Chain A
Amino acid sequence: MLVHSRRARWAVWTVFFALFLPLFALPLLVIVAASFATGWSGVLPSGATLAHYQDLARGDSLDALITSLLTALAASVLALVAGTWAALAAERLPRRVRRIVDGLFLLPVAVPSVAVGLSLLVAFSQPPVLLNGTRQIVIVAHTVLVTAFAHQSVSAALARLDPAYEQSAAGLGARPGYVLRRVKLPLLLPSLTAAAGLCFALSMGELSATMMIYPPDWMPLPVQIFATTDRGALFAGAALAVVLMAATLLVLLAVSRIRTRASYR
């Protein structure tokens, strides 16, 4: 703690809560409250019911949740493989070339995701690669959008990795493939799981690009939340949002457990 006097510490905590509660915590809490509410005429939602959740269990929301989970899983695995591969390959490049590669990977993040969605739609609406209206295009779009984060995270970890490990291993007679498998990847594991978690969370919440491209039989949860609230069913939408949050949080918690077990120092 950098702040030593008791009074200053109180001041810091007060400022923290004054900013954190209204900006971060309260909106989420209101959504949770709304998902159990029957009306909202005052400041806060009122009434208490489980009806919205019961409706969810009956409708196609479960499908949307599974769609989201599968899309996020596929996209994060693909992004992790591509991002890690690229980061490992770029390690040997001259610094200037590496910067260009980094820039290329960041492009989908810099471009508005609506534009990414639209461009994929336009690009893959004609043969030879016809993906328009397929589930794959959603996974492709999510992969394109989150690979940048995987690549960034793994590149940063690689830059921090002491080259002495790799050199010691090579000096002991280990070929590059063996060094990668037995030394580098295990040492990168904490960063890889962190990157996987980030990609997964981003993909679970992706809406704008998905809106442009999703086929009727592959509707992820955020699209359904948007559609539900758009037609005025605010409380049902809130319940869907709570499900989305809970599912994402659960997966992130599981991933962070792997990460804790994988950190060595």
Chain B
Amino acid sequence: MPPAPQADTPAGIRFDGVSVAHGRNVVLDGLDLTVEPGEAMALLGPSGSGKTTALRAVAGFVRPVSGRVLIGGRDVTDLPPYRRGIGMVVQQYALFPHMKVAENVAFGLRAQKVPRAGIGPRVTEALEMTGMAGYADRHPRELSGGQQQRVAIARALAIRPGVLLLDEPLSALDTRLRSGMLAELARLHRELPDVSILYVTHDQVEALTLADRIAVLDRARLRDCGTPQDLYRRPRTEFTASFVGTANLLPVTVAGGTVRFAGRTLPLPAGGAAGAADGAAATLCVRPHLVGLGESPTGDGATLRGTVTEIQWRGATHRLYADVAGHRVLADVRELRETPVPGDDIALHFAPDDAVLIPAGLTDGGAADG
């Protein structure tokens, strides 16, 4: 048995065809994913997508039916949780209610038999890092949700893990606290460049803000993986397009360097139809904030004509819902002086470079589903 990774050693995580099943119910299906040392990876997906299961497989709380989990290059699939060298923060924090804050943070160090003299400074360090130094003598029940969250993170960091597992760590906080903690987590990630972070969330804002890369899961499978910008600007599946940000997804037919949609020809960005055969069905993805009101001002732009079905004022923007040949198209436009009313005929446009063609083979429910 090789020794456990030393504290402070950068350690990545690798999922090597990891499948998890409860009886016949497959909850994670052949996950292949690598988290580089020091990288923050968000596992993003709706509930039941398998993202928490993936995290629990790293922690050692579920056993894969096939595949391997590696931490820092070491196969940990058969190791119990306490030998994996991880730090973990669970959804409800699970601070030990019978211990004070300092004892909670010291727990991992005591459990791992760190010499007594070394415990105090590391507890202080972890509490300072999370801004909780003044609360060492409190009991968890005397703390607010946000403070408990910080202590839970301090407790996980005190053992100086190579990998930090965060299971929906902000889901129990209210919106305002959440954005504050999000900034804190981003700061921690900058300050601890050697710690790999695996962050499970169903909230795309959290994933976009915090992660170096995002892995999108749906129905037990990895659907997409890339940097936040990548997934947002060039989603490879319909699921990614609609789950990361909001998207207009138009069913189109490929026709040379253009696509046909509802009897119209729409242009594509250069190379946008690469790999898609003529006549193939595909999906055109355009973000609502890239859709403008009126005819396309340039000759190469795309123009859609439809009827307004609903209009919402959102402060700085108006969101228009239009019906274009039976398909709903959303447009987020800068606040309008004169707003159209439902029933009005309108024209909407977008630039070719702002559209992404998603070939049908990669849409969910298609070939990717196997």
Contacts and interface: CB of A to CB of B under 8 A. Distances in A.
Given A172-B155, A265-B141, A164 B92 contact: yes
A173 interface: yes
A174 interface: yes
Contacts of B81: 167, 170-171
B87 interface: yes
Nearest to A166: B94
A183 B96 contact: yes
A16 interface: no
A175 interface: yes
Given A187-B97, A187-B98, A172 B92 contact: no
A171 B155 CA distance: 11
Given A167-B59, A167-B61, A167-B90, A174 B139 contact: no
Contact of B82 (A162, A173, A187, A265): A173
Interface string A229-265: 0000000000000000000000000000000000011
Given A167-B59, A167-B81, A264-B141, A172 B94 contact: no
Contact of B87 (A165, A171, A178, A187): A171
Interface string A146-179: 0000000000000000101101111111111010
Contacts of A182: 107, 110-111
B97 A175 contact: no
- Looking at B107, B108, B159, the one whose CB has the most chain A CB atoms below 10 A away is B107
Contacts of B80: 170
A186 B99 CA distance: 10
Q: Which of B61, B87, B98, B159 has the most CB of A within 10 A?
A: B98
B141 A174 contact: no
Interface in A89-118: none
B61 to A, nearest CB: 6
B92 A178 contact: no
A240 to B, nearest CB: 41
A245 B346 CA distance: 88
Given A178-B111, A182-B107, A265-B141, A171 B88 contact: yes
B60 interface: yes
Interface string A180-219: 0011001100000000000000000000000000000000
Nearest to B139: A264
Q: By DSSP majority rule, is chain A's interface helix, strand, loop, or mixed?
A: helix
A206 B60 CA distance: 48
Contacts of A167: 59, 61, 81, 88, 90, 94
Given A167-B94, A182-B107, A175 B82 contact: yes
B90 A164 contact: yes
Contact of B86 (A164, A171, A264): A171
Given A264-B139, A264-B141, A172 B97 contact: no
A241 B262 CA distance: 93
Contacts, number: 76
A93 B90 CA distance: 25
B220 interface: no
Given A167-B61, A167-B81, A170-B82, A175 B92 contact: no
Contacts of A265: 97, 141
Contacts of B112: 173-174
Contacts of A172: 82, 87-88, 107-108, 111, 155-156, 159
Contacts of A170: 60-61, 80-82
Interface residues of A, number: 20
Given A171-B88, A172-B159, A173-B159, A164 B107 contact: no
A169 B111 CA distance: 9
B85 interface: yes
Nearest to B83: A173
A62 B60 CA distance: 58
Contacts of B141: 264-265
Nearest to B107: A172
Contact of A173 (B98, B108, B165): B108
A178 B156 CA distance: 17
A10 B137 CA distance: 47
Nearest to B92: A164
B169 to A, nearest CB: 12
Given A167-B61, A187-B97, A264-B97, A173 B139 contact: no
Contacts of A173: 82-83, 85, 108, 111-112, 159
B90 A174 contact: no
Contacts of A176: 82
Contacts of A168: 88, 90, 94, 96, 155
A169 B107 contact: yes
Task: Please indicate which of the listed interface residues B110, B111, B141 has the most CB atoms of chain A within 10 Å of its own CB.
Answer: B111
A35 B214 CA distance: 79
B107 A174 contact: yes
B97 A162 contact: no
Interface in B95-144: 96-98, 107-108, 110-112, 139, 141
B59 A171 contact: yes
A164 B98 contact: no
B101 to A, nearest CB: 14
A164 B110 CA distance: 19
Contacts of B156: 171-172
A174 to B, nearest CB: 4
Given A173-B159, A174-B107, A175-B111, 11 more contacts: A167-B81, A167-B94, A168-B94, A169-B107, A171-B60, A171-B86, A171-B87, A173-B108, A182-B111, A183-B96, A264-B141
16 contacts: A162-B92, A165-B94, A165-B96, A168-B94, A169-B111, A171-B165, A172-B87, A172-B155, A173-B108, A173-B159, A174-B111, A182-B111, A183-B96, A187-B96, A264-B97, A264-B139
Complex A-B, nearest 9 residue pairs according to Cβ-Cβ distance, in ascending order = A172-B108, A174-B111, A171-B88, A164-B94, A170-B81, A264-B97, A168-B94, A173-B112, A186-B98
